[in-house]
Amino acid sequence: MGLLQGAFFCAWGATGWGVRGSKWSMDISDWIENISNELVPWVYPALCDLCGAPGPCGLHVLQACPEPRCVRCASLLPEGVAAGSSCADCVVRSPGLTSVLVLGSYGEGAPLKPWVMALKHGGRPDLAQPLGACLGERLLEFGTPSADTLLVPVPLHFWRRMQRGYDQAALLARAVSRRADLPWGSVLYRRRATWAQGSLLSQGRASNVQDAFELHPDRGTLVRGREVYLVDDVYTSGATLWACAKVLRRAGVRRVGALVVARAERFA
């Protein structure tokens, strides 16, 4: 609500005082809240979560206009193809995910790249919060979460978790969960360490993650019959997500989608 509308709301509240009795106090507190929401950014401008510069930067630009991407693998659609379509590849193959939502590109020079690099390799676990909140918003706007939707982070191997000191996919899942008001749970684990997907050629990626994931024995019943959204930081070839989806479907998950911060472009 804008400042003008806030003022209008106050005037309306004031004239309604005699008639509506106790509503008056609610209207005035609404008005004070509106006024302070308007003033706070003037007095204390929001700082960029990544670089600390005042004012919106990077991430906020992306939130404004999502590019048209394939609903099933999030690859960029050729010009002229309507938003909400599948790409030519997904029409013929069955990638194992019902939908993939991403915030943007992981290509060279893409505005998201420094955010994801800092989260993954720069010791900035705090960035999971704004990125996850954006993903949550994207899910509410373009996804179809239902009453039984569960968010499941793509698991990190124990050793890599130790090395990094935090699990960025789990932090993202928690942030999405807060924003979209959905439960999350680490129901998968990595049986063995795999090479970083980015360092392999595409043929190597599928075999690299084949059978690398397993369902926690005591949490299997949590997912049966539910809808699951896998949460991860980067979509490289899709092989990791597909391997996770396979395990989940075997455990009786009704529908598997994915929420990923950034996607490596196919021909980049």
Q: Which parts of this chain interact with Zn ion (CB under 5 A)?
A: 48, 50-51, 53, 57-58, 70, 72-73, 75, 87, 90
Considering beta carbons, is residue 90 or 112 the nearer one to Zn ion? 90
Q: How far is the CB of 86 from Zn ion (least distance, A)?
A: 5
- Count of CB atoms within 10 A of residue 194's CB? 20
Whose Cβ is closer to Zn ion: residue 192's or residue 266's?
Answer: 266
- Angle, helices 239-250/202-209, rounded to nearest 10 degrees: 30
Angle separating helix axes 23-43 and 3-15, nearest 10 degrees = 160
What Å distances lie between residue 194 and 139, 156, 160, 214, CA to CA? Answer: 29, 10, 10, 14
**Shortest separation between residue 100's beta carbon and Zn ion, angstroms:** 8
In terms of Cα–Cα distance, which of 196, 233, 198 is closest to 212? 196
Kindly tell me which of 1 and 53 has the beta carbon lying closer to Zn ion: 53
Residue 54 or 183 having the CB closest to Zn ion: 54
* Minimum distance from residue 124 beta carbon to Zn ion (Å): 12
We find the least distance from the C-beta atom of residue 74 to Zn ion, in angstroms, to be 7
Other CB atoms closer than 10 Å to residue 225's CB: what's the count?
Answer: 10
* Closest CA relative to residue 192, chosen from 170, 163, 160: 160
> What is the helix (H) or strand (E) element at residue 179, kind and residue range?
helix 168-180
Which is closer to Zn ion, CB of 75 or CB of 237?
Answer: 75
Q: How far is the CB of 55 from Zn ion (least distance, A)?
A: 9
For every residue of 41-100, DSSP letters joined together read HHHSPPBPTTT--BS--THHHHHH-PPPB-TTT-PBPPTTPPTTPPPHHHHHS--S-SEE
Toward Zn ion, which CB reaches closer, 106 or 184? 106
3-state helix/strand/coil string of 155-173? CCCHHHHHHHCCCHHHHHH
Which one, 155 or 238, has the nearer CB to Zn ion? 238
Least CB distance to Zn ion at residue 60 (A) = 9
* Percent composition of the chain: helix, strand, coil (DSSP 3-state, to 5): 45, 15, 40
